[in-house]
Amino acid sequence: MRLAKRHGAITIVERSSAHPTYQYKLLSDEFARFGLRYPAIYRVLHDKHIAEYAEADYIMVASEFVRRTMVEAGVPAAKLIRVHLGFDPARFHPSEKTDEVFRVMYAGRITLQKGVQYLLQAFSQLEIPHSELLFTGEIEPDAKAFLTSFEGTFRHVRYVPQSELAHFYQQASVFVLPSIQDGFGMVVYEAAACGLPIIVTENVGATIRNGQDGFVVPIRDADALARSLTYLYEHPRQRAAMGQSACSYVQNFTWENYHRELVGHYDMIWRARAR
């Protein structure tokens, strides 16, 4: 990037997570809660990223959550450009659910950062007949700190190709992304596009409208997750309405929309340089 700048280039970097300092402190604390040390490599990456953001002309961020943490850490707001990520509507769309199981789904890496430990706590509190907690994704080493305590309470599918992921969404009843921090979370829009109501934490960048498309809860709050799941189970009509609302809402955020938005930002940056 320094070489490019010496040759007169405009330099842009992307930040897909919260500000490095915010992320490091939050996840170091989360690892400590489970008797683990946050990997030292992230301290090295932290310092590298801080230097990059100081020297770049612009920083593209994927959500208002990321933007807020960057500004709070002292990054000039004028350097930040919000770009809304998307989903593929040809692949992710509603389809008929073929059973009566109340299926709570999570997709992604199974790790402390994703807050799966609190979803497991929440699901274990519920007394819902014909229900299932489904995880799809790879289990990270740090997950061993909590998974053994919940053996038998969830079903795990290790690997699901993108071409088959929509089927899993379509057979779920609700999608949950309980992350401690998640700069965006494309799985949210994929699941919503398949007609699911969504539960996310306040630190998930992919936006849903609280009470309309699902629920937004605090991080590390198993009780709030349990209450939201209970409500969706006990109110099937509202669950269906929220799923329909979420599906309609995310149609604004396809990859086609992302491409148009990105081109618009590049045009703005170029025009600003030309003035």
How is residue 19 written in tokens? 């500000």
Distance (Å) of CA 44 to CA 37, 39, 47, 51: 15, 10, 5, 11
Q: Are strands 214-217 and 198-201 parallel, antiparallel or unpaired?
A: parallel
Task: Dump pLDDT digits (tens) for 189-216.
Answer: 999 999 999 999 999 999 999 999 999 9
CA-based nearest residue to 233, from 156, 133, 137, 121: 133
Contacts of 235 (CB under 8 A, 6+ apart): none
The yes-or-no verdict on residue 275 having pLDDT over 80 is no
DSSP 177-244: E--S-BS--HHHHHHHHTT--EEEETTB-S---BTTTEEEE-TT-HHHHHHHHHHHHH-HHHHHHHHH
Strand partners, 132: 103
Segments making up each domain of the chain, as ranges: 2-86+254-274, 102-252
What is the per-residue pLDDT for 86? 93
C-beta neighbour count of 46 within 10 angstroms: 16
Task: Dump pLDDT digits (tens) for 110-129.
Answer: 999 999 999 999 999 998 99
The yes-or-no verdict on residue 152 having pLDDT over 80 is yes
- What is the arithmetic mean of pLDDT over 14-37? 94
Distance (Å) of CA 143 to CA 7, 42, 111: 46, 18, 5
Host H or E run for residue 272: helix 255-274
What is the per-residue pLDDT for 161? 86
pTM of the model: 0.94
**Does domain 102-252 fall into CATH 3.40.50.2000?**
yes
Pick from 42-46, 85-89, 97-101: least confident: 42-46
